[in-house]
Structure 1
Amino acid sequence: MTIADLAGTPAPEAASATARVRTPRLRRYAMTAPTFFAVEYAINPWMDTSTPVDAALAVRQWDALRSTYRTLGHTVEMVEPVAGLPDMVYAANGGLVVDGVAVVARFAYPQRAGEAVAYADWMSSRGFTPHATQYVNEGQGDLLVVGPTILAGYGFRTDLRAHAEIAELTGRRVVSLELVDPRFYHLDTALAVLDDSTVAYYPPAFSDDARAQLRRLFPDAVEVSSADAYVLGLNVVSDGKHVLLPANAVGFAEQIGELGFEPIGIDLSELFKGGGSVKCCTLEVYS
């Protein structure tokens, strides 16, 4: 049985003979169970409070994601969910942890403010000192690590002024990218990091200047179709070889399969109702 079979999605066609050999690297992730998940308010275009959520199914789908990480050998640490914080399952937004530096989120909406306290407590419990920013930052929703660089989104959630704070705290180069389509309100909905030098993105989600920067930095980047972008197909987690992505992003799966990556489709249809998928549910601790 292949990993793709385990995840419930058939493997794509075999990669071409010219595809690179990809090497996975063991990762450390933090996740929060969707114990209290619900769509109780609408703060992004995907949320509809009139659409019912199957809470039990959300838990089963989330658990399948967690189990797949563990099957691949990755470490998954649990952050205790808090009643009254239905979006806390989207752990990526809780902050950024890189090179031993922990930056806790400062959320744009008051409905999510309590999550920052919970994730700061988790960081402290793991021996990190959580640093707060003066301006809004929504963690790895808008701060994606690519090799030595942090790609930083702004336009809807994270404040552009927070990027300088992130650069100072981490000591890493921060590249600012403006998002212009509210459906792609976080960078991790419009851009996927596949390995330390490879990204995929949806060009219409970005301003002209941001697209120019991406073309300059990543001339061989994968550009995805609207069909895949509109199912949050870019909201992925990759270990350098295995790419966990929304199960119905079939075109994107074929694209990366041809490059030697192994796509693993994950069904998170219930959590999609809150505007998130694989990456949103996963906070990576970068060593």
Structure 2
Amino acid sequence: MTDYYVAEPAPVVAPTPAAWQNAGAPRRPRAARTRRYAMTPPTYFAVEYAINPWMDVSKPVDVQVALAQWENLRHTYLKLGHRVDLVEPVPGLPDMVYAANGGFVTHDVAVVARFRYPERAGETQAYGDWMASAGYRPVSTRHINEGQGDLLMVGEKVLAGYGFRTDLRAHPEISAALRMPVVSLELVDPRFYHLDTALAVLDDDTIAFYPPAFSEAAQEQLHGLFPDAIVVGSADAYVLGLNVVSDGLHVVLPSAATGFAAQLREAGFEPVGVDLSELLKGGGSVKCCTLEVFV
């Protein structure tokens, strides 16, 4: 396996809490930007253990259905004009399909995930090796980080979740490695165990989120930073409707999140619904299956 260097910590941004506001994202012209994604086919997908509330080992998984749904997602990105790199799946790593958790890649740096649960530990090497082979400089952290599951870039900063998976102590390490400010946000509902299950980045200054998934302090932070954020309701949040991928105009989201799709249209975005119901059995959806490579 590639040797990684460990980043030295840097200060983490702590925004001043602001008063609760929710005007909703104003309708204005939106513009798509060509993106680069990495995805791993669900060749070995299964629910063999339960490490989040969505996983139930008693419910059978149809791998052929999962593959078809995943392939439809990949083709959706291609039809929208985006690039999709493929990462080779590894036997014995059933959750590797959730590529977003593999790390955080931007410019020439790749922060490689360090997983909380031993069942996923082997993904660190698999994704680290892929990042190195793709020409990126792998960086490890001393503390747990679960990649873009808990690290979402918006504009020139990174929103970073903690509370269930990623360790708060990893945030300064990530800030140092990426040379970007990091905003720490506490998650409090185990159903929303990663940041990308409760918050969606829509463009460089627009987000959507589900407030009950966050601590009161985190809610105030988000409202202070994004006063026009789209606040999503429980019905859409409970189908992982916020687990989306946006190119700034088109928002690829779970097709069951119909209320959120209407909110997106009202704000000037173009929702693109896809069915990932089989992969939802493992606790992931659109964003979980998509590692964005920022260039």
TM-score by length of 2: 0.91
Specify the SS of the correspondent of 1:41.
coil
Q: What corresponds to 2:19 in structure 1?
A: none
Specify the SS of the correspondent of 1:87.
helix
Equivalence map 1:90-239=2 (5 Å): 90-239=98-247
Report deviation, 1:101: 1.0
Report deviation, 1:19: 2.5
Q: What corresponds to 2:286 in structure 1?
A: 278
CA offsets 1:194-251 (integer angstroms, 9 cap, x no match):
0000000000000011000000000000000000000000000000000000000000
Q: What corresponds to 2:265 in structure 1?
A: 257
CA offsets 1:50-101 (integer angstroms, 9 cap, x no match):
0011110000000000000000110000000000000000000000001221
Residue identity matched to 2:104 = L
What is the identity percentage for the equivalent residue pairs of Structure 1 and Structure 2? 70
- CA distance in 1 between counterparts of 2:200 and 2:40 reads 21
The correspondence for 2:49, drawn from 41, 54, 59, is: 41
Stretches of structure 2 lacking an aligned partner (at least 5 in a row): 1-25
- CA distance in 2 between counterparts of 1:171 and 1:30 reads 22
CA offsets 1:2-57 (integer angstroms, 9 cap, x no match):
xxxxxxxxxxxxxxxx7211110000000000000000000000000000111100
Residue identity matched to 2:176 = E
Query: C-alpha root-mean-square deviation of aligned residues, in Å?
Result: 0.6
Residue identity matched to 1:57 = V
Report deviation, 1:129: 1.6
Q: Which runs of 4+ in 1 moved over 6 A?
A: none
- CA distance in 2 between counterparts of 1:129 and 1:98 reads 10
Specify the SS of the correspondent of 1:22.
coil
Specify the SS of the correspondent of 2:94.
coil
Residue identity matched to 1:175 = V
- CA distance in 2 between counterparts of 1:100 and 1:184 reads 30
- CA distance in 1 between counterparts of 2:192 and 2:27 reads 30
* Number of equivalenced pairs: 270
Q: What corresponds to 1:246 in structure 2?
A: 254
TM-score by length of 1: 0.93
Q: Would you say 1:82 and 2:90 are equivalent positions? A: yes
Specify the SS of the correspondent of 1:279.
coil
Residue identity matched to 2:76 = T
Q: Would you say 1:54 and 2:62 are equivalent positions? A: yes
Q: What corresponds to 1:5 in structure 2?
A: none
- CA distance in 2 between counterparts of 1:31 and 1:93 reads 11
Residue identity matched to 1:259 = A
- CA distance in 2 between counterparts of 1:43 and 1:128 reads 30
Stretches of structure 1 lacking an aligned partner (at least 5 in a row): 1-17
- CA distance in 2 between counterparts of 1:195 and 1:128 reads 24
Residue identity matched to 2:281 = K
